[in-house]
Amino acid sequence: MLHGKRILLIIGGGIAAYKALDLIRRLQDQGASVRGILTKGGSEFITPLSVASLTGDKAYTDLFDLTDEAEMGHIRLSREADLVLVAPATADLMAKMANGLANDLASTALLATDKPVMLCPAMNVEMWDKPATQRNLKTLLSDGATVVPPGEGMLACGEMGAGRLAEVSDIVEAVIKHFGSETKPLSGQLFIVTAGPTHEDIDPVRYIANKSSGKQGYALAEALRDFGAKVTLVSGPTSLSVPEGVSFVAVRSARDMLSAVEAALPADAAICVAAVADYRVADQANQKLKKGQSDFSQLALIENPDILKTISQVGANRPTLVVGFAAETENVLENGQAKLARKGCDWIIANDVSLQTNVMGGDENSIIIIKKDTYKTFDKMTKKDVGNLLATHIKDCLIK
Ligand code: C5P
């Protein structure tokens, strides 16, 4: 989503500065290149060396460093960026910006830049609520800055309230949205995404299901939508809200899901994220089965249709790209590779769902993208970030 985008990240002096390191990685995952400026306070919380190691560039800290100014003047630094991102934006930095002060490298670059500025405030709740800070915020907004608002909760100082740096994934999303208005690389492409579990009814009140929350499939559908794709999201029962801007088809059983997917063809790509129940009961009862009168020890099961395999082998109507997921609890790579061959799809996204990973129902995932002859392993990240990462890979595959 951020391919070719240059981001100047200004890291202010607050405890949330440590999150800037993760932010650098997540922006890079989306294809952005990042340069870092640390304020004096910022350098108290994280070292310039960490920032330099992650960005693969110098960490810029000093306005009066002759070497810095000779190699890369503060004006050039502020101009050679597509976006200036301030995270964490402290009360002090915001006050300087609102008043046009320029007495260190960060504030000078902010005053000198001709590029959009995005602020991610983080501070103590009293500091955030103070009329002075709110006045400065208003000024900065009317000066054209955008703000990723701080979250509420327990702050590092032990107090409760607003002032916590926004989640890294929300900041990445705001940056993508900022650039999204410029480029929609998947405009006009039709996508089918399956998500959530399926429920296979035993009788009117009982069913067989699995633990899928639907979060990963929904996050991917949203990321593809943000890339401009026309997405049909075929979802089993979940507690998530229907994403805006996608065609949503609610289904219950594996057979309903297959029908809905077939009805949505033809498509450019089909991404099967759903955790489909492998089996359904052979004889679904119309009335509630009574304990004692029914033999629950002998519930006969029959195999469900395999949606991914069917779509992978659908002939002329086969989407250009068919992707499946493999939720595994052991030998993740090997099982994923075997699944790729068995299903006939183009890629398998394998992930470890063993209990200790907390992936099932959780907000994070770590994936391996498996293709015919290659694979790539990624660090743990939020399901939202996985959605954006996959959308980027899919875009690179479909748009030459
Ligand atoms: O065979 P297994 O369930 O492990 O394969 C997982 C992949 O296959 C996922 O992409 C899932 O959406 C898809 N699948 C399917 N229909 C089934 C079973 C799995 O589409 N009946």
What pLDDT, in 10s, does the model give residues 107-141? 999 999 999 999 999 999 999 999 999 999 999 99
Average of per-residue pLDDT values in the chain: 93
Every domain of the chain and the residues it spans? 6-183, 190-398
Fold of 6-183: Rossmann fold (3.40.50)
Class of domain 190-398: alpha beta
> Which protein residue's CA is at the shortest distance from atom 4 of ligand 1?
326
pTM of the predicted model, to two decimals?
0.61
Structure tokens at 358: 């907390």
Contact 319, 346 (CB under 8 A): no
As to burial, measured by CB atoms within 10 angstroms (0-12 exposed, 13-18 middle, 19+ buried), residue 181 is exposed
The ligand 1 atom at the shortest distance from the C-alpha of residue 323 is 10
Which of 60, 47, 68 is CA-nearest to residue 9?
A: 60
Mean pLDDT (whole number) for 31-45: 96
Same-fold call for 6-183 versus 190-398: yes
Exposure string over 18-48, b if 16+ CB within 10 A, otherwise e: ebbbbbbbbbbbbebbbbbbbbebbbebbeb
* Ligand 1 centre distance from Cα of residue 74 (Å): 53
Q: What gap in Å lies between CA 210 and CA 18, rounded to an integer? A: 37
Query: From ligand 1's centre to the CA of 274, what distance in Å?
Result: 7
Asked if the model's pLDDT at residue 63 lies above 90, the reply is: no
What is the reported pLDDT for 69? Answer: 66
Lowest mean pLDDT among 118-122, 134-138, 148-152, 294-298: 294-298
Please say if 272 is a catalytic residue: no
307 pLDDT more than 80: yes
